[in-house]
Amino acid sequence: MRVATYRDIRTVELGAAAPVEPGPDDLVLDVGACGICGSDVHSWLEGSWIVPGMPMGHEFAGTVVEVGSALEGVAVGDRVAVNPLGPCRACAQCRRGRVNLCEDASRSSGGGLGDRVLVRDARAGERVFVMPETMSMEEGAFLEPLSVAVRTVRIADPDLTAPILVTGLGTIGQCVVRVLSAWGARMILATDTSPLRRAVAEKVDGVEVLDPTGTDVAAAVSDRFGTTTSPYRQATGLPTVIECSGAGPLLQFAVDIVRAGGTVCVVALTAEPAPFDVNPLVQKEVRLLGSFAYATADTQEAFRLLAEREVEVTSLITHRLPLTEVNDAFAAQADTTRSIKVMVTPA
């Protein structure tokens, strides 16, 4: 068995993996497909949130090959999509239902960029989801990023009858516009500097794409939805902005452009601290929120959206590479001009 582990900046090493043995509540699966996450790219590019020797890959689906003696609802041979987040279920955050903020999370599953993965505490319908025959391994591997998007939209809690602006159309931004569309949003404005990413997003029902390289997005939004003439700050009529790009200046842009009393929800991680003027946040009483990972209900809803085909995700796959070319896969994912989702298979 093989697994890709982080070694150094821009260096992932494919080597031998130790054998895995499931406990009573665990399962082992053969990986069918694994996506490369934006946080993985930060690790590869900058060494963020990782240490040498750590197995990589947490967006994966596969086929069950071993099942713990106490595990119910899943059997050898089942094709499963995986929620990799393994909360302790005992800390204060878990008891509040905010398992995404678990103080331990040591049961989380990594190593999806490999041949075989141990999933601990593999409760069916919470940690693993048996896929219908109509769902491919690649679609199952989108369970994790789609869960992030579901939580982001829930945290933002936008008025679906009003315009919503999504900045950044990488995997998470693309999933956010798909969740908004599936939930009935009437007008989704989306912006990204990449022509490829804009072209994919504009095919989603209800999405109107803005090109920031050729359009003054702030002026376009102001012209369309109006502005106030407050002595403190001008404010448009745009009630919700969801920031998915991770580009530092766009946090300021979002707070500046949203209407007074509006909401800015940030899901993207940044490579560097973002410069930020707090005055418009205060003077407009903007609700500034962070959204991190997902709770159980978010993953359950994401799986439903996939299983019932209310969202389409395979068009987001721009690259398919074998595990033997894992460093090339990271380089492709890091190139935002030509990629959305890079999918790796153990071939």
pLDDT (tens digit per residue) in 180-219: 999 999 999 999 999 999 999 999 999 999 999 999 998 8
Q: What is the pLDDT of residues 40-70, one digit of tens each?
A: 898 888 888 889 999 999 999 999 999 999 9
Q: What is the pLDDT of residues 311-336, one digit of tens each?
A: 999 999 999 999 999 999 999 999 98
pLDDT of residue 81: 98
What band does 28 get if pLDDT is binned at 50, 70 and 90? very high
What band does 233 get if pLDDT is binned at 50, 70 and 90? low
Question: What is the pLDDT of the chain when averaged over all its residues?
Answer: 94
What band does 235 get if pLDDT is binned at 50, 70 and 90? low
Rounded to an integer, the average pLDDT of 97-108 is: 92
**d(Cα 74, Cα 231) in Å, to the nearest integer?**
61
Q: What are phi and psi of 135, to 5 degrees?
A: -100, 125
- CATH no. of 147-290: 3.40.50.720
Q: Please state the pTM of the whole predicted model.
A: 0.95
pLDDT of residue 251: 93
Give the residue with greater pLDDT, 40 vs 135. Answer: 135
- Residue 231 predicted with pLDDT over 70: no
Give the residue with greater pLDDT, 298 vs 219. Answer: 298
- Residue 228 predicted with pLDDT over 80: no
- Residue 87 predicted with pLDDT over 90: yes
Q: What is the pLDDT of residues 243-276, one digit of tens each?
A: 999 988 999 999 999 999 999 999 998 888 888 8
| Rounded alpha-carbon distances, angstroms, from residue 41 to 79, 90, 199, 331 | 27, 31, 23, 8
Rounded to an integer, the average pLDDT of 128-152 is: 98
- CATH no. of 2-142+313-345: 3.90.180.10
- Domain layout of the chain by residue ranges: 2-142+313-345, 147-290
